[in-house]
Amino acid sequence: MTPPDHTQPEPMKYSILGGTDDLSTSEKLSQYTGTVDWSYLAPHCSNGSLYFVDPELELTRVGAAFAENQTDQVKAWLKSGDLVQIGDLHARQWQDTDTRFEALVVSPFVLFRPL
């Protein structure tokens, strides 16, 4: 048996929040949060599901808004620029860097910000 490698973050999980457990939305979201590099995020950028979250916002709060279908709140963040759907132009700034990111999967979306 090989000992666990604690130098690498645990792979992020993909799933739709829900189920019959007794966890709060915030507790569920924390299970889908992790530290990743750009190579993990790039495919999500290509399919239009990647969103940059302003560092002033709590990542799990934004994730909860997505999970709970708080459309008005998400639209307000998009309008203010606190939440930005990432495209190729934005992506180029991170492609060749060693930047690490905090990311949260709220399937089918991935929310992220640099660490």
Mean of the per-residue pLDDT values of the chain? 82
CA dist 16 and 78 (Å) reads: 22
Per-residue pLDDT reduced to its tens digit, 4-44: 444 444 444 434 445 546 777 777 888 888 999 999 999 99
Dist. CA 70–CA 88, nearest whole Å: 27
What does the domain layout of the chain look like in residue ranges?
A: 38-114
Task: Sheet with 50-53: list strands edge to edge.
Answer: 33-37, 100-106, 109-114, 50-53, 83-85
Query: What's the whole-model pTM score?
Result: 0.77
Give residue-wise pLDDT tens across range 62-113: 999 999 999 999 999 999 999 999 988 888 888 888 899 999 999 899 999 9
- Please name the amino acid found at residue 13: K
Strand-pair partners of 102: 35, 113
